């Protein structure tokens, strides 16, 4: 089925042809007229923002050359097609840092060129969430675009010290560009630490499955006061239960900063089943040279440090194995991961434990999203005052 649409985009007539599948046409035909009537028309949308699936671009994905990952990478074109159709005043695209360099930068440059060809003003850059008040390092690539006649939002100023390198994008010709300055040498506020984020949360034991529990202490940092607000009870302070062997390993890991699998004693343990097994997994010491010494596996968080890279399934033998609570013998909880991303304690997550971790993992950390939103509000207010 072939369809043709004549669309006035920013004062220019564009003609688009596309081919829809039989299945797509059948599904579209089942949408009731009232629903269709409530959908916005081109020119009626002020703001479109989102992040196309990042798994295909992510360096953490061991299968980013698979067919499905390649399909996910191409979804960015589908996302840009919404801009073509709706002609929003403002547009914000977000993705992982590797989006900029993926496929030798061709996908990134295609996105920018597409927006520019449509007549939009464009600004791009990489921001570090920890510089905006998050307890973990999280680098995200952003693309702002605004229609002609609208002000282009500036980047928010980083407010927290972060001792990382300046995040630059190398443009064609070798020119380097940084959206915001590095805060490695100073900022108005210090970094948010693991202690700031989760230091006052009540203790829970391996196997605990209570979805709601009472707080047992008052907030001890301004960050804790901010995210708790007026909450009287804590939700989602739960985690996936460890098996007996991993629990024993966790109990043997010292409760000190940087402790990991290399701090385990080289001995065997007897399980309740009667089986005797090595406390240190065989693969860790035997192939460590090929895997950066398996750094961080079975690791404890440092109360005065930050959380590692966010993952959808925290586990001690995972790609990011530093997932043990600093002071308790267990994996970090859903709520602790949410605190590390800057979620308010009142925010509710849906589904099972892994679904909740995925919801936390996939977002732009709320403090960074808030900072970007304030910059958008500034230009909207300025446009209104100038009318």
Q: For tokens 């907030």, what's the residue? A: 219
Q: Which two tokens stand for residue 349?
A: 């997550």
Tokens at 149, concatenated: 């006649």
CA pair distance 35, 22, nearest whole angstrom: 21
Which residue from 258, 251, 384, 255 is spatially nearest to 322, judged by alpha carbons? 258
Please state, in angstroms and as integers, the Cα–Cα distance from residue 202 to each residue in 198, 219, 271, following that order: 9, 11, 29
Q: Is residue 87 annotated as a catalytic residue, yes or no?
A: no
Angle between helices 334-341 and 353-361 (to 10 degrees): 10
**Chain centroid to CA 188:** 24
How many Cβ atoms from other residues are within 10 Å of residue 264's Cβ? 21
If phi > 0 it is left, if psi is from -120 to 50 it is alpha, else beta; for residue 82 that is alpha
CA distance 50 to 363: 10
Which whole-number Å values give the CA distances from 49 to 14, 45, 52, 91, in the listed order? Answer: 23, 11, 10, 6
Active-site residue, selected from the candidate residues 54, 323, 337, 339: 54
Q: How many helices (H) and strands (E) does the chain have?
A: 11, 14
Cβ(61)–Cβ(55) below 8 Å:
yes
Catalytic residue annotation? 54
């Amino acid at each position: 089925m072939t369809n043709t649409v004549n669309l006035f985009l920013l004062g220019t007539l564009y003609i688009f042809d596309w081919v829809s599948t039989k299945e797509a046409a059948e599904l579209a035909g089942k949408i009731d007229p009232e629903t269709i009537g409530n959908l916005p028309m081109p020119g009626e949308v002020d703001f479109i923002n989102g992040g196309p699936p990042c798994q295909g671009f992510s360096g953490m994905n061991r299968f980013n050359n698979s067919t499905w990952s390649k399909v996910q990478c191409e979804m960015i074109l589908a996302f840009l097609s919404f801009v073509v159709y709706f002609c929003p005043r403002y547009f914000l695209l977000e993705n992982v840092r590797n989006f900029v360099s993926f496929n030798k930068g061709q996908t990134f440059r295609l996105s920018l060129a597409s927006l520019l060809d449509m007549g939009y003003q464009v600004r791009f850059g990489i921001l570090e969430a920890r510089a905006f008040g998050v307890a973990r390092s999280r680098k995200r690539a952003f693309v702002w675009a605004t229609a002609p006649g609208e002000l282009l939002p500036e980047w928010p100023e980083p407010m927290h010290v972060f001792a990382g390198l300046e995040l630059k994008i190398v443009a064609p010709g070798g020119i380097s560009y940084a959206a915001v300055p590095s805060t490695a040498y100073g900022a108005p506020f210090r970094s948010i630490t693991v202690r700031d984020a989760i230091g006052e949360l009540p203790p829970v034991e391996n196997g605990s499955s209570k979805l709601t529990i009472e707080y047992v202490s008052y907030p001890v940092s301004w960050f804790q006061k901010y995210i708790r607000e007026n909450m009287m009870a804590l939700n989602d302070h739960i985690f996936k239960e460890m098996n007996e062997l991993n629990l024993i390993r966790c109990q043997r890991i010292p409760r000190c900063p940087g402790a990991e699998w290399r701090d385990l004693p080289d001995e065997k343990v007897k399980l309740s089943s009667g089986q005797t097994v090595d406390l240190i997994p065989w693969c860790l010491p035997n192939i460590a040279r090929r895997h950066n010494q398996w750094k961080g596996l079975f690791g404890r968080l440092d109360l005065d440090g930050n959380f590692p890279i966010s993952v959808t399934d925290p586990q001690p033998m995972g790609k990011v194995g530093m997932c043990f609570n600093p002071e308790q013998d267990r994996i970090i909880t859903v709520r602790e991961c949410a605190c590390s991303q800057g979620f308010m304690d009142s925010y509710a997550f849906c589904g099972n434990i892994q679904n909740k971790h995925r919801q936390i993992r996939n977002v732009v950390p709320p403090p960074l999203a808030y900072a970007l939103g304030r910059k958008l509000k500034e230009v909207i207010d300025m446009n209104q005052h100038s009318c």
